Structure 1
Amino acid sequence: MYNLNRLSENYDVVSILMTIQIERPQALSSEDFWRALKLEAKDVSEREPLLASYIHSCVAGHHNFETSLSFILSNKVSDDVMPAMSVGEIFNEAYLLNPAMVEAAIYDIQAVVARDPAVSAFLPVLTHFKGYQSLQVHRLAHYLWKNNRKELALFMQSRNSEVFSVDIHPGAVIGQGVMLDHATGIVIGETAVIEDNVSILQNVTLGGTGNEQGDRHPKVREGVMIGSGAKILGNIEIGKGSKVGAGSVVLNNVACGVTVVGVPAKVVGKPDCTMPCDSMEQNVLRDKA
């Protein structure tokens, strides 16, 4: 965990980052998170001058996290017809009226740092990780969908799919502390629900089983990890603390705290921890029989 008492403009940010030990990602308040992010930005700008202007535009030049996030995302999803300034106004309005979106975005970054061994800092998640960015674009689309601005929500979904190769229907409900790892090819249907603290790898589908109407997509409970290429189909429940192995096709409910794998998926054991989303253990053969 960050030692906040030692944070200062002169403190070695790399040393701070090496001390991160996050059991649950909400270790930092929004103010402390923003301070830490600004220190990372300062450190990167000093070590890599070619990125200084980019880092200033994305982070250092902003007065809070939400305007930084809005700037980054609006420049990602804008196009020749919908300019970044217009998209940014939509993000800024949503963050002002629904602060929970900002809290979720902070929680999501800390979740990635806690779970992904390839990253040890907040800044690259914010500026480079498309799984994180696509999830935040979905949060805006969902906000618009719930506020009966469905055409604009569908526009955001379309841009999300085109830019990040992540297709999440604006109606899908997604909690915080969610990591879309690598993210390419993820598809999530309209009535899907993903609770807090879930990890999903690339090419995962949370879909329906046909052209049925109504509640027709999976419900993924807290602590779940879904391996790459898994297909979870229908209005079924993936129980709390369970694990779905890579390449599986899941057509029936999955109990809490079990590991399933195969086509169709079958129970092969139990995860060796209560929160597979944190351990990110991919080898199902290591799970308890």
Structure 2
Amino acid sequence: MSESQHIGGPPASTIGVNDLWESLRSEAAVIRESEPHLAHLLEDVIISRESMGAALGARLSRRLAREDMPRQSMEPMLTEVFEKHPLTVCAASRDLLAMFERDPACFSPLEPLLFFKGFLALSTYRVSHQLWLDGRRWLALYLQSLASEAFAVDIHPAATIGSGILLDHATSFVVGETAIIEDDVSILHEVTLGGTGKQTGARHPIVRSGVLIGAGAKILGRVEIGTGAKVGAGSVVLNDVPPHKTVAGVPAVVVGQSREENPAIEMNQRLDCMNGYGI
């Protein structure tokens, strides 16, 4: 398998982006009537917008605008990226649905769009990554710094991240420049995908699809976390993790076989220990 295989998610038509957008607008209209204190936010971000890309541009600009780039400059720039690159909207929509489907505390896809900094940080990354690919590296790095300040999430714009990502709580999530995260991965807060030493080139982790990474885990160096693997909370991973294995500890070692075919979807953080007793 090549390092970049399966990155980017399915075409937007297969996940119903338009249907999702119409559902969000309908729900926002209902909430506006029942909760007038949120009327301005809902009108500005959702109800008055014609597309998911425009809504994303509006929501992110409300959170990221600063004196050196006020909202009237930032929002058109963000919206233009989303509208010129519809796969970024597709990826953000899959992230939105992943958070709704996997987080039992999330009762509507509208909730992450309005309130979840994990979703907003990922969406900011998606713009900065596209800018990086377009050769606009200074602007990409500027957005990275804003996201780090606003959301306490630091994702290098050169990193490669697939879609259908659940970034739960998100605080102190760090991703290095050459990291690769495939589709349908679930990651909790305080996770680091970092390098070791001062070497250049490919030096950050590869996380394959279906992986679940527990809170506080540190994965360092060009190690590969195999498909459907599970990394226990607080673990320090310095070596490759085989597919569908569970690792834990400092340093992390294999403690069992993942019981779920896709731990990222099931979100079961119990350690599947070889002695038969999950802890």
Q: Give TM-score scaled by structure 1 length.
A: 0.89
Is 1:233 the counterpart of 2:220 in the alignment? yes
Per-residue Cα deviation, 1:116-147 (whole angstroms, up to 9, x for no partner)? 00012011110000000000000111111111
Give the 3-state SS of the residue equivalent to 1:284 in structure 2.
Answer: coil
Q: Which of the numbers 43, 52, 64 marks the counterpart of 2:39?
A: 52
Matched-pair contact (CA < 8 Å) for 1:169–1:189: yes
Q: Counterpart of 1:102?
A: 89
CA distance in 2 between partners of 1:204 and 1:144 (Å): 25
**Greater relative CO (CA pairs within 8 A, separation 6+):** 2
| 1:1-289 equivalent positions in 2, closer than 5 A | 28-285=15-272, 289=276
Dislocated runs of 4+, deviation >6 Å: none
Matched-pair contact (CA < 8 Å) for 1:201–1:228: yes
Q: Which residue identity is paired with 2:73?
A: S
Matched-pair contact (CA < 8 Å) for 1:259–1:287: no
Per-residue Cα deviation, 1:137-159 (whole angstroms, up to 9, x for no partner)? 00111111111111111100000
CA distance in 1 between partners of 2:22 and 2:274 (Å): 40
CA distance in 1 between partners of 2:261 and 2:272 (Å): 17
Matched-pair contact (CA < 8 Å) for 1:157–1:168: yes
CA distance in 2 between partners of 1:163 and 1:105 (Å): 18
CA distance in 1 between partners of 2:269 and 2:188 (Å): 10
CA distance in 2 between partners of 1:26 and 1:178 (Å): 18
Matched-pair contact (CA < 8 Å) for 2:257–2:272: no
CA drift of 1:52 comes to: 1.5
Per-residue Cα deviation, 1:157-207 (whole angstroms, up to 9, x for no partner)? 000100000001110000000111000000100000000000110000000
| Alignment root-mean-square deviation, CA | 1.6
Moved more, 48-57 or 224-233: 48-57
Give the 3-state SS of the residue equivalent to 1:167 in structure 2.
Answer: strand
CA distance in 2 between partners of 1:164 and 1:31 (Å): 28
Structure 2 unaligned blocks of 5 or more: 1-11
CA distance in 2 between partners of 1:81 and 1:177 (Å): 33
CA distance in 1 between partners of 2:148 and 2:172 (Å): 9
Percentage identity across paired residues of the two chains: 46
Q: How many residues are treated as equivalent by the alignment?
A: 265
In structure 2, the CA distance between the partners of 1:133 and 1:122, relative to structure 1 (3 Å rule), is same
Q: Which residue identity is paired with 2:271?
A: V
Structure 1 unaligned blocks of 5 or more: 1-24
Give the 3-state SS of the residue equivalent to 1:274 in structure 2.
Answer: coil
Q: Give TM-score scaled by structure 2 length.
A: 0.92
CA distance in 2 between partners of 1:189 and 1:276 (Å): 23
Per-residue Cα deviation, 1:5-37 (whole angstroms, up to 9, x for no partner)? xxxxxxxxxxxxxxxxxxxx9974111111110
Q: Which residue identity is paired with 1:199?
A: S
CA distance in 2 between partners of 1:272 and 1:204 (Å): 22
